[in-house]
Structures are given as structure tokens and as C-alpha cells.
Structure 1
Amino acid sequence: MEINRAFGKALQTVRKKIGLTQEDFSDTSSRTYLSTLERGLKSPTIEKVNDLAKSLNIHPLTLLLKTYANADGVSDIEKLIEQVKAEALLFE
């Protein structure tokens, strides 16, 4: 899956599971912009990912983890977490 679409799917999935509407993000983004992101038509900046994650009350890496799991078709998130953990430890 293309990365913008994968991010949009991750954002929408998390937003809906938490029970928020697009309008609930009015302090962070307009409903139109959020809709554009969720449809994969735009790519957010790292600052916007951070702001969206704050609005969702999650860590930005959680949103990115869901994004890359979607993009790569990964069904076992634990494996992806272990890969990221192992790679991160290489750079300590």
C-alpha cells in the first residue's frame, strides 16, 4: 500500500477506535485537511504527525507503526515492534 494511503488508514482507524470525529480535531486541523489526510491525498509533516498523535492521546510512533504495518501488509505488529527495537538498539 502506498505510504500516504497507509497513513490515512492508520489515522482513521485509530481515530474511530478512540471514538473521535474529524470535527474533534478542530484545535489541530480543519476537518477538510483531516479528511484529505485520511484519504491519502496529502502527506503530513512530522510536526503534524506529532500534533495529531497528541489529539489522539497516543505516542506519534504508535501512529507511524500502524502506518508502516498497513503499508507493508504486516499482520503481526509484534514482529515489526521487535524489528524496530533491535534496529534502535544498534544506535545507542
Structure 2
Amino acid sequence: MDNKLAFAAALRAVRATKGLTQEMVARFTSRPYVGRLEKGESSPSLDKLQALSEAMDVSPLTLLALSMAMQDDQPLAAITSRLKQELAAFEKAGGMKVLREQVINGELIPRPTGLPVNADNLAEVQRHKQAGYTQTETADRLGLSTSTVHDLWRREK
């Protein structure tokens, strides 16, 4: 099932079980927008998801879990079990530390620009450079593009 349709069904179901009208849910947004969501014509932004959830007094995760249950045609227990497993694995891998490191003093830290360098390719290109090979020879020997070799040729380890 399409994710917009699954979200529409979840939104309608939560609103209906809470006895809310579209107007009541739309207090943080517009009624036409809620209508478009409920028809499966739009997807909410994170801010709108939060606003809709607050208006219906449910967690945004509830709306997402219900949407996933519809989309994947799975029981809620399977969705919540998977969520628990994924969060436990994330935490075990040190994800919470990494997550907290992303924000300092309320500011998202800037990411380094560009693509990360493949350390193995860099080392091999530098080794070929020291051995006296040309960039073209290095590219042929390593199976890399000449532009990649050219970029790595100028870098230091």
C-alpha cells in the first residue's frame, strides 16, 4: 500500500476513535490540509506530524506505527517489536552517544563537506606515487577512474 494512503487511513482512524472533527484536528494547521492528508494526496512534514499528534493527543509514533501496520499489512505487535529491536540495536551500537554529539548548545553541528575518502584507495595511490608510477598507470593498475586517482594523488595520508 502507498505510504500516503496508509497515513490517511491511520489519521482517519485515530481521529474517528477520538471523536474529533477535521476542524478540531486542524487547530494547528488548516482544514483543507487535513482533508488532503485524509485523502492520501499529501504527506505531512515532521512539524505538521507533531501538530496533528498534539491536536489528537497521541504520539507521532502512534500515527507512524499505525501507518506502517497498514502499509506493510502487519499487526501492531510486529511493528512495535521491530521498533524495540531496532532501538535496542541502535543503543547497543553507541547510537545515543553519536546522536547527542550531533547537537551542541542547541545547534546542529556542521557536517564536513565532500565525500569521505576511501583510506585504502588513498594509501594505494600514494604508494604508487612513491614508486614512480604515473597517475594513468596507477588508475589502470588499481582499477580506479583517473579523476579519482588525480584527487587522491594530491592528498596526504
Please indicate the TM-score interval, normalised by the length of the shorter structure: over 0.9
Task: Identify the residue that residue 73 of structure 1 maps to in structure 2.
Answer: 73
Q: Give secondary structure in 1 for the equivalent of 2:28.
A: coil
**Unpaired stretches in structure 1, ≥5 consecutive residues:** none
Identical-residue share of aligned pairs (%): 36
**Within-5 A mapping of 1:1-92:** 1-74=1-74, 76-92=75-91
**Unpaired stretches in structure 2, ≥5 consecutive residues:** 92-157
Q: After TM superposition, give the deviation of residue 29 of structure 1 in Å.
A: 1.8
Q: After TM superposition, give the deviation of residue 26 of structure 1 in Å.
A: 3.5
Q: In the alignment, is the contact (CA less than 8 A) between 2:10 and 2:67 conserved in 1?
A: yes
Q: In the alignment, is the contact (CA less than 8 A) between 2:26 and 2:34 conserved in 1?
A: no
1:22-71 deviation line (CA, Å, top 9, x unaligned): 01124212111101001110111011111100111011100000011111
Q: In the aligned structure 2, how far is the partner of 1:6 from the partner of 1:26? A: 19
- State the TM-score, normalized to the length of structure 1: 0.94
- In the alignment of these two chains, the number of paired residues is 91
Q: In the alignment, is the contact (CA less than 8 A) between 2:5 and 2:39 conserved in 1?
A: yes
> Which is greater in Rg?
2
Q: In the aligned structure 1, how far is the partner of 2:25 from the partner of 2:63? A: 15
Q: In the aligned structure 2, how far is the partner of 1:17 from the partner of 1:50? A: 19
Q: In the aligned structure 2, how far is the partner of 1:55 from the partner of 1:62? A: 13
Determine which structure has greater relative contact order: mean sequence separation of CA pairs < 8 Å that are 6+ residues apart, divided by chain length: 1
Q: In the aligned structure 1, how far is the partner of 2:44 from the partner of 2:82? A: 24
